[in-house]
Structure 1
Amino acid sequence: MSPQDRSIATEDIQAATNTAAPSDTPDVTLLGGRTLLPDGSLQDACVTLAAGRIAAVSASEGRPATRRIDLAGRLLLPGIIDLHGDAFEQVLMPRSGVRFPMDLALAEIDRQLIANGITTAYHSLTYSWEPGLRGRETVVELMAALDRLGPELACQPRVHLRFELHNVDAVAEVADWLHAGRIDLISLNEHLDMITDRLERVDKLAQYAERTGLSITRYKELVQQVAKRGAEVPNGVARVCAAARSAGVPIASHDDDSPDVRGHYRDLGARLCEFPVNAETAEAAAAHGDPVILGSPNVVRGGSHDARMTAENAVRAGLCNVLTTDYYYPAPLIAAFRLADAGACDFPAAWDLVSAGPARAAGLDDRGTVAVGQRADLVAVEPGPLPRVAATWTGGRMMYRADPRVVG
């Protein structure tokens, strides 16, 4: 990483301190860190947190705070915002047919998220026509658990509902959830064709059947029954999208494989292009200002596990606005540094892909930057070939500390 630095200018500090801040006494000041500021510069700064918000950003410490934490030269960055993460499925069902209690699984997931610098997580719940791990019972149970445990979790949880388009019987229920504010992001998923194409592959068929709890024979019968209802899909998709637009919930289309497909879903209100299959589709999205969302494991592994578009190439071409955890929580932190080290973009632009970029795409205006008035969601990082989270704050509270040298 070789970002261009400059010292904090007086006018920068004046602009920050002119923003309204909490009037109570600041409760903690983070000092000694190289802070990523909204203008994209990395500067030595003192960041004061109060009442869960960033109260001040200055070149030197102002009035004394209740606590002082010396970051000893580490990077101080806005917390990672993950718009698409389904690694929780591996914690909930680590082996085929082996389920763990939902509350226990969520507590473990929360520990993994916060330890990887993720401060806002959109849990991607697949609501499929399948029973089992991606069926209604799991979705309802997980949403209820997030409602119940949300205030106790370190990472702020949100619901990203991955709606399978052939799940036509669930259209009315999903519309009700949207209107009730139960869903924060919805994506349009169509995996029936892929599953149908793989029914003759014994390994894949067994995998799909196992997560549902059905026998292979019964699973194949279910696929055939669902396929017969294809004529009902367009109306169902239109109803779900209309409900999302009415509720102001962002809509993403998933796995678009052509500019025409992207245009079709854009017309329905899906302005987020999630995991486009090829560069042509990503270019079509970018031409209309639609944020392109890709997986950070694609960067870390050096390419797509599904022989699709390479995320690093997309970043170099300006065809990626957001990187997500996808199926691996440590990936965004590592991906940002890998992209900068590889020269795909500079470090501030790389971090934008995992923090401010997701915030813009999801319409979150209270997080994603280190600026006065923003939520105090921050991560202190020890840079290097394998970057490491030293500490994470959410809502102004230190919720994770791995490095005993980060003291206050």
Structure 2
Amino acid sequence: MTLCLTLTNATVLFPDGTRPGDLSFANGLIVDGGAGRSVDLRGFRVLPGIVDCHGDGFERHLAPRRGAMKDLSAGLAATEAELAANGITTAVLAQFWSWEGGMRGPDFATRFLEALAGYDGLGTDLRTQLRFETHMLDDYAKVEDIVVRYGIPYVVFNDHLPHDALIKGKRPPRLTGQALKGGRSPEAHLALMQALHDAAKDVPQALAGLAARLRARGVVLGSHDDRDADQRANWRNIGVSVSEFPETLAAAQAAANAGDPVILGAPNVVRGGSHSGNVSAADLLAQGIGDALASDYHYPAPRLAALSLGNWDLVSSGPARVLGLTDRGVLVPGKRADLVVLDDAGRVGATIAGGRVTYLAGEVATRFLS
């Protein structure tokens, strides 16, 4: 059930800036004038709900141990609760379709998609990003069918094969652990990686065809961990426009110069740099590079990063534009009633998604319920 309310006396982030004001919503949308009863939010801030365009933090809820979760809907409920507690109203759940197996493998991906399709949650808009490993040539038709069957709006291309080690005939690092996660012996896992690596020459043509077909269906396409300007140019040439977590300044600059949307990791901002030694997201943003911040692996990070930077657009209107979601990201009449209420310390008091309360706590809860 959606609410009909007017939030009064708050400090509201409107498109033209932050100022004291009232905000009304009814039937899931922001509306002009008053609506329903009033809730006095004096001393609190009202901002657009967070649009998280890439997050895999749900993995710990859906598969905390190998084979532990039989009913994935319970994990989705736990995921939604965590999202709402961090002000996220639209969440893109980044699910692998990978040779790595386990919860990154095709079988788990299909279970996840089926569970999400049947999930009836609190109101958070839960969407899927399929992260496809490009060297899985035998799976191209399956992936295309999956995208159509489940209406997946966003596909990102990955290549996690340890090519350097495979070229040199060396045993890749962490082979045994990865093999066990995939349910294979180390020998079988290595043989699979080697076979996929050896088929590399056939990947570009197959990838270009798949990208063209998905793009014709309106699917947003992205590349993950661009290493340099040439790699970004290669992706752009086949219509893969979004550059997700570029690893270097050169790759990020090339994307920005060409007008390609750049998604950066919010945890990178919060911790003061990349945990893997890649380019600093904060440094890129200081140079004017970056259209959106994503949670990556930590759902509190978008809120914390946006507040530290003083730029809420990076987690609201920015990612909405990247995803082509024109109905959200700003607090104006006619848009979805997606909003978050914060106190002076940046803590979440309420999250409202599509006019439905998904999180309510503390003093804000008292005011809503009194």
TM bucket, shorter chain: over 0.9
Deviation readout 1:12-48 (Å, 9 max, x if unpaired): xxxxxxxxxxxxxx82111121111112x11111111
Letter of the 1:31 partner, please give it. T
Shift of 1:189: 0.6
User: Is residue 132–residue 213 contact of structure 1 (8 Å, CA) maintained in 2?
Assistant: yes
Which of 292, 311, 314 is 1:353 aligned to?
314
Q: Secondary structure at the match of 2:362?
A: coil
User: Is residue 113–residue 150 contact of structure 2 (8 Å, CA) maintained in 1?
Assistant: no
Call closer, same or farther: CA 1:206–1:153 in 2, change over 3 Å.
farther
Matched, 1:369 2:330: yes
Following the alignment from structure 1 to structure 2, what is the Cα–Cα distance between the partners of residues 356 and 302?
24
Letter of the 2:151 partner, please give it. R
Give the stretch that moved more between structures: 191-200 or 230-239.
191-200
Following the alignment from structure 2 to structure 1, what is the Cα–Cα distance between the partners of residues 24 and 127?
27
- Structure 1 residue runs of 5 or longer lacking an equivalent are 1-25, 57-61, 340-346
For these two proteins, the number of residue pairs brought into alignment is 364
1:210-289 → structure 2 map (5 Å cutoff): 210-289=180-259
Letter of the 1:73 partner, please give it. G
Following the alignment from structure 1 to structure 2, what is the Cα–Cα distance between the partners of residues 251 and 169?
20
Letter of the 2:9 partner, please give it. G
Letter of the 1:36 partner, please give it. L
Matched, 1:137 2:107: yes
Deviation readout 1:290-317 (Å, 9 max, x if unpaired): 1111110101111101100101111101
Letter of the 1:380 partner, please give it. V
User: Is residue 91–residue 109 contact of structure 1 (8 Å, CA) maintained in 2?
Assistant: yes
Normalising by structure 1, we get a TM-score of 0.85
Following the alignment from structure 2 to structure 1, what is the Cα–Cα distance between the partners of residues 81 and 263?
25
Partner in structure 2 of residue 316 of structure 1: 286
The root-mean-square deviation of aligned C-alpha atoms, in Å, is 2.0
Partner in structure 2 of residue 192 of structure 1: 161
Partner in structure 2 of residue 159 of structure 1: 128
Which of 369, 392, 398 is 2:351 aligned to?
392
Call closer, same or farther: CA 1:194–1:154 in 2, change over 3 Å.
farther
1:300-315 → structure 2 map (5 Å cutoff): 300-315=270-285
Matched, 1:27 2:10: no
Give the stretch that moved more between structures: 184-193 or 95-104.
95-104
User: Is residue 163–residue 187 contact of structure 1 (8 Å, CA) maintained in 2?
Assistant: yes
Shift of 1:327: 0.5
User: Is residue 223–residue 242 contact of structure 2 (8 Å, CA) maintained in 1?
Assistant: yes
Q: Secondary structure at the match of 2:232?
A: helix
Letter of the 1:163 partner, please give it. F
User: Is residue 262–residue 289 contact of structure 2 (8 Å, CA) maintained in 1?
Assistant: yes
User: Is residue 211–residue 238 contact of structure 2 (8 Å, CA) maintained in 1?
Assistant: yes
Call closer, same or farther: CA 1:394–1:405 in 2, change over 3 Å.
closer
Partner in structure 2 of residue 46 of structure 1: 22
User: Is residue 122–residue 358 contact of structure 2 (8 Å, CA) maintained in 1?
Assistant: no
Shift of 1:200: 4.1
User: Is residue 199–residue 205 contact of structure 1 (8 Å, CA) maintained in 2?
Assistant: no
User: Is residue 273–residue 291 contact of structure 1 (8 Å, CA) maintained in 2?
Assistant: yes
- Structure 2 residue runs of 5 or longer lacking an equivalent are none
Deviation readout 1:233-278 (Å, 9 max, x if unpaired): 1122112201221111111111111111101100111111111111
User: Is residue 66–residue 102 contact of structure 2 (8 Å, CA) maintained in 1?
Assistant: no
User: Is residue 273–residue 280 contact of structure 2 (8 Å, CA) maintained in 1?
Assistant: yes
Call closer, same or farther: CA 1:86–1:405 in 2, change over 3 Å.
closer
Q: Secondary structure at the match of 1:33?
A: strand
User: Is residue 325–residue 332 contact of structure 1 (8 Å, CA) maintained in 2?
Assistant: yes
Give the stretch that moved more between structures: 124-133 or 260-269.
124-133
**Percentage of identical aligned residues:** 40
Following the alignment from structure 1 to structure 2, what is the Cα–Cα distance between the partners of residues 178 and 239?
15
Following the alignment from structure 2 to structure 1, what is the Cα–Cα distance between the partners of residues 313 and 88?
14
Following the alignment from structure 1 to structure 2, what is the Cα–Cα distance between the partners of residues 389 and 187?
31
Q: Secondary structure at the match of 1:319?
A: coil
Shift of 1:97: 5.4
Deviation readout 1:320-367 (Å, 9 max, x if unpaired): 11100001111101111122xxxxxxx2xx211111000001110000
Following the alignment from structure 1 to structure 2, what is the Cα–Cα distance between the partners of residues 362 and 283?
20
Partner in structure 2 of residue 331 of structure 1: 301
Give the stretch that moved more between structures: 66-75 or 123-132.
66-75
